[in-house]
Amino acid sequence: MEKRNTIQKRLVLDAVCALADHPTAEQVYAEVVQHHPSISKATVYRNLNSLAQDGQLRHIPLANGADRFDHYLQPHSHIECTECGCFCDVPITCDESLDAKLEELTGYQNSTHELVFRGICPSCAHKAAHKAG
């Protein structure tokens, strides 16, 4: 069954692309509702999940914070600042052989992974150095 490409779905996808900084669902909602006040939070969340399931967005689940969404679909990794929460692309591609190795070892099928590095961004490190010195 083919899924409908609704106006709401287009609005959500456009918002993720416009924000272009790995927004959370809440940030996407805030962007969409500015231009379309009648849209509900549930509609935005539902469409984010639908777009991710359809492969039009990348859903990045995070254990210690709100999940992020990415419009850039090529294989790549991310880094998150543990101080300010800045979340960025990293020019390191994921090793797709890990997925095949996992499937071989566990019997799981269609496995994927997200690689998110964590550290302190240069801006936060600079601020900490000035406070200490």
User: pLDDT for 49-100, tens place per residue?
Assistant: 999 999 999 999 988 889 999 999 988 899 999 999 899 999 887 777 888 8
Residues β-bridged to residue 59: 69
Distance CA 87, CA 72 (A): 14
Distance CA 35, CA 5 (A): 19
Distance CA 29, CA 47 (A): 11
State the pLDDT confidence band at 1, using cuts at 50, 70 and 90: very low
State the pLDDT confidence band at 22, using cuts at 50, 70 and 90: very high
Whole-number pLDDT of residue 67: 94
Regarding pTM above 0.85, the answer is no
Q: What angle do CA 22, 98, 75 make, to 5 degrees?
A: 30
Structure tokens that stand for 67 in this block:
């999940």
Residue 64's contacts (CB-CB under 8 Å, 6 or more residues apart) are: none
Q: How does the average pLDDT of the chain come out, rounded?
A: 90
State the pLDDT confidence band at 16, using cuts at 50, 70 and 90: very high
